[in-house]
Structure 1
Amino acid sequence: MKVLIVDDEPIVRKVLKTMIRWEEYGLQWGGEACDGLEAWELLQQESMDLVVTDILMPRLDGLELVKRLRQAKTDAAVVVLSCLDDFSYVKEAMKQGAHDYILKPTMEPEQLADILVEAKEALLKQRMEKEQREQLHRQLQLSNQAQWGMRLQKCWISGYRDEDLEQDWFQEGRILSSCMIQFTMDSHLSLLGWQWPGAFAYVSLSEQRTLLVYEDIGTSRSVEVEQTLTVQFGLGQESFCLTEVRGIHRADQLYNLVQEHELVRHRLFYDRKASDLAYYGSIDTKDLKERNGILPLEERQNLLKAISGQNEEAMNYWAKQVTVQLEQNQPSVDITYNFIYELLGLAAAFARQQVDVELEHYERQFVSSAAVQAHLSIASLAEWFLEAVSELAGIFQSNAQLTSRNPFVRKAMSFMRQQYHLQISTSDIADHVKLSRSYLSDLYSKETGESLIETLTSIRIQEAKRLLRHREQKVYEVAEAVGFVDPKTFTKTFKKIVGCSPKEYEEQNK
């Protein structure tokens, strides 16, 4: 078990680190911090099992650190170090959940080690009891919500009705409602095994989709489901799409729930202003099937031609036309995702035929199902797709002069692309390539027609344009992000290359 020592006296930290034979006690030195704030920041990055903390420290004291640990629901056991005159603080720390305390003036390393062993054993017991409770919880859940959910799912798969289920759920004219949660692939959260209070059943359709069935009480259930996801699981609203179907009073509606939720999801994807509330039959299934056959194939072909010709203006134009057609024709969400994913894969393949550069970073960022499906509306997906095409155009632009097959030139270019955000110089580039600065500069200029600094500046300005289009950072933050120390120098350089100031560029690309 890992132990963190928190004390503002360096000598105390040094004594504890060196005088206790940690391994003999089944413990491991996990690190040290000079006050509660440094300890809290360290605990955000790395979990600890045991925390030994002084009470009175600058910036953040030990009592506040204990409070934060409990508010964060961490199970780390805390042992408090105290002096004789701050026992009132110790009592408060014990109320907040500290395991034990020890007086610093009389403390011996072995004494502290014994207390830590006791705390370790108590923590292990606590964790074992928690696991047993969770296991019992899962077992109870399987006998209720999950069993009903499995019976409903069996009906969907087999095509046969479950009359007992129908009789139980629709007794005395009961009306049902249903919520479906569609997670993005990068949310890294599975709700398999979770119990939803008030639900008749839940069905885990996949790791990304969970369907819940409730009694329709006349108001939306989506509010409480959303609260569970955002408050209890800490998910942002960009990590999931929540749909609701109400007014379910017939068995045939129950057996078509998944299709109905997909139709509601379709509506929300293309119109985020639409209400989450949906009633059965709100969207024409036949109309949706017809839409699926209308894809921007001609626009896709023209975009790929523009990529083959390295025509930046045409690339941006046809990329925009692709998104316009998708918004107008509104094919199903999954078909739209697949279309964009496949198109970006083709775009990268066409680009690789035109420029002799590594596109691995670009493909990791854009050519993945998770990246595409992270966008829960057509507006967000369209903006991101245009950014992907613009990024590809930027790669063409930065490689326009790069016709050399010389490995040193290629290595210099690759280094600048990877390190442009740092304060690198021509000497740093030469050191990386392992040539003298003067020799590399001459070689690079002869092979590409421009200097190392000109290429580095071009890369930085291209990235700055992307960040400004994204509109998430201020101009001075963009300048720093792309390797400029002085915002004024950045603005002057940007205007010289682009023809307008960063602020004007940002306004033009709203």
Structure 2
Amino acid sequence: MKILIVDDELPIKDYIAYCIRESGAACEAVVSASSGAAALRLLEQQAADLVLTDITMPRMDGLELLAQIRARWPQTDVVMLTCHDDFAFARSAMQQGAADYILKSEIEPDTMRTLLERVAEKRLREHPEQIVTRRLSFGRYLDQALSDPAVDLLDRETVRAYLLSYKLGDYFVCLFRYNKSMLDGLAKMRFPWIRWQWTLPLEDGDIFVLADLARGMSGSEQQRRLAEFCAALRACAEEPVGASGIYHDETGLKRALLDARRNLSRDFYRGTVEPPQNPIDNETALKQMFVFRNNAINALAGRDWTSFREQTEGLFAFACERQVPAERLKRVLCFIAEMAAESAQATTVLLAKIVGAAHLEELQQMFGEFAEKLEQNDRRYSENIESALSYIRQHFRDNITLQDAAKAAFLNTEYFSRRFKKEVGVNFSEYLLTLRMQEAQRLLRTTKLRVSEIAEQVGIPNVSYFTSVYKKQFGGTPAESRKH
């Protein structure tokens, strides 16, 4: 809990802060104020979970301060500090919504610990849903801002409303993938140079940490503290951590988040904070990723494991060279895995491993083992279907039909069609088209034949139709494919 101490006598404020520190409770005496008016000004700048306030103070007494806090910050608890002859005031304060009261003559570390534990238990009983709801709402607000390219700067007052009127000063944003060890470690961290810290989940599985730094630090000291914070997080688990630079205004929170996300991706690739030498825009990167993805899926359909490995290895190399955001790479791999895995259970396990991979090397090793297992477990087709597949592979350049393949399998056409789809996973025409497109792509990249000649060789003499099918299959025209 973050605590504000309000008393017009300096020695008493110092003694209360000492008792809080010595109590051993999970609390921090953040600031103190010598009057009710000063306390309200501090609360406008910095939220507090608990206010410890004297009842008898000049100008604005504790009861008036209590009423103001209950009206403006209902989730802030107030404990009244009273002398023996103020007991009637304390009872009145309890009736007006104070969380508790304590006699000044009884304040010592042990009694303070008991009081703070009592208030903490009360807060857990009364506020958990509100706290969780508010933080989830803040997360949704940030997710929407991140997904909207029209939004650059956030609305300052909206951000402050989510932070309960807290005004950010010099702050940084930190991101990491959900990891229990890191969350547990984060909960135990206590840095005196962090004034206030928020932690909440984002929609894509990242954990978002917003840390506001103490005033008065130089720029170089702020950078040292930021590095210290990230090092402490990484020490909890070997997971990537992405941190923004130092920002100074709530409106730049989206920019800070994007900054942290870029560095999270670079940490995933174990790279530096320097941008890639060959930058590429998101749309172009996405198109190239789709080409690798579609080629890998086509190789799966043809049970061409050499091509499958080449395409997935090419995908990893491209992602690493251009430092494609880790989450985009993982989404593409998840799509391939869903197409390849042979059971729902296996798919679920594999997808969890892909999403949870901490670094590129881990992901590459995992996917390499997956491809090897697929090849080892490659299904053995029935003798009839194996005969048909052999016939199709030999004659796919010719004008063969379903009836020709059924004849090669020694089966009637209708039964063969059903049997082929069940064993191979795609129907006859899809399998035939995949073989033709793979051969076309090979010829485009290894020969100087004209597109019309390649179309003729793979059994699709209509060039317009060939180009249309090729573009649909690989995401680009034959000419574009040849450039690669």
Same fold by TM-score, threshold 0.5 exceeded?
A: no
State TM-score, norm by structure 2.
0.40
